[in-house]
Amino acid sequence: MIIDKLYEKINDTGHVCLGLDTDFEYVPAGFASKFDSKSEAVLEFNKKIIKATSNSVACYKVQIAYYEALGIEGMKAFSNTLKYIKETGNIAISDVKRGDIAKTAQMYARAHFEGDFETDFITINSYMGMDTLEPYFDYLKDKEKGLFVLIRTSNKGAPDIQNINTIEGENVYTVMGKKVQNVGKSFLGKCGYSSIGGVVGCTHTQEGKKLREELDSTFFLIPGYGAQGGGAEEVAVYLKNGNGGVVNSSRGILLAYKKQNNPENFDECAYNEVERMRKDILNAVKG
C-alpha cells in the first residue's frame, strides 16, 4: 500500500512534506523573466525546488488553487509538477480538498487518481458525511492510492465548527477522527497505519496529544509548521515512535531565499531550509 511507501520514506529521510503552494509572486523576478508566461515560470521554479530537495523530503504537497488561479496553462503546470515528482521517484499529495457524494465524488476520484492529474494522495473534506469517501475505495485497494481527510485543521476559525460539542459530549473533530480511523481499518498497511489518513494542524498541542493516542492507526498530514506558528516541539506530539506523520511547510521553504537574501540560488536556499526543518523535527522526536 502507498502508506507503507510513505512510512519507509520517513524512516529514510525524515518528516518534511514540502508544500508547492506556488504563487507566481514567490518566483524571484530574475528567474521569472526568463519565461514567456507565469505558469511556465511556476513550473520551472517547482522543478528546481524538487530537484534540490528530492533526497531530503518525505513527500510533496501540491495545492491546486495556486494553479487554478493561472487558468488552463496553470493546470498544465499542476499536471507537469505532479509528473516531475513521479519522475524523481517521490510521493505527491494533491491538496484538492474534495468533498462530495455519489457520481460527483466518483468523477473527482477519476480526475485525481487517473490521467493528467494523477497523484498518490488527495485531501478530502468529509464533513458532508462519510459516504464522500466511498467512491475512492477501489483506488485505495487496487491502485496504490491514499487519502488525507480533514479532522482538526490549523486555521484560526477551525473551532467555529470543529470544537462544537455533540450530544454525546465529544467535540466534532473528535467524532470525525474516530470515524476516519474506523473507515481506515479496511486499508491498513504493513506499517500499521491506514492509507486513509487525517489532516491535523500542529498548532493545538493538547488536542494533538489526545488525537495521537486515540487515532493510533491513522497517519497524519500535519500543517501549521513555521508560517502558521507551529514548531518542532508541537509537531513531536503528533508522531509515534518517530513516525506516523508528515509535516508540511510551504512558504517557509519556497521563500527561504528571501530570508537568506539569495534569490539567484533559491533552490539551494530551499534545500538549506528543508535540512534545517528536517533536523529540527528529528531532534525534537528524539528528545
pLDDT digits (tens, 9 = 90+) for 130-173: 999 999 999 999 999 999 999 998 888 989 999 999 998 999 99
Q: Interior CA angle at 50 toward 47 and 54, to 5°?
A: 145
Give the residue, 218 or 209, on which the prediction is more confident: 218
Q: Are 17 and 232 in contact (CB under 8 A)?
A: no
The string of pLDDT tens digits covering residues 3-47 is 999 999 999 999 999 999 999 999 999 999 999 999 999 999 999
Average pLDDT in the 93-109 region? 97
Enter the pTM of the model.
0.96
Taking Cα atoms as reference points, which of 67, 278, 203 lies closest to residue 270? 278
Active site residue 97: yes
Asked whether the CA dihedral 217, 179, 144, 248 is positive or negative, the reply is negative
The string of pLDDT tens digits covering residues 261-273 is 999 999 999 999 9
Helix ranges (H only) for 126-204 are 137-142, 159-162, 172-184
Number of structural domains in the chain: 1
pLDDT of 72 strictly over 80: yes
Coil, strand or helix: which one is 222?
strand
C-alpha 86/C-alpha 43 separation (Å) is: 14
**pLDDT tier at 209, thresholds 50, 70, 90:** confident
**Which is the catalytic residue, given 47, 48, 97, 178?**
97
Coil, strand or helix: which one is 146?
strand
**pLDDT tier at 232, thresholds 50, 70, 90:** confident
**pLDDT tier at 201, thresholds 50, 70, 90:** confident
> By residue range, what is the domain housing residue 225?
2-286
Please name every residue paired with 246 in a beta bridge, in sequence order, or none if there are none: 221
pLDDT of 228 strictly over 60: no
Average pLDDT in the 210-227 region? 89
Give the residue, 82 or 201, on which the prediction is more confident: 82
- Residue 127 has, within 13 A of its CA and on its CB side, a CA count of 13
CATH at 55 = 3.20.20.70
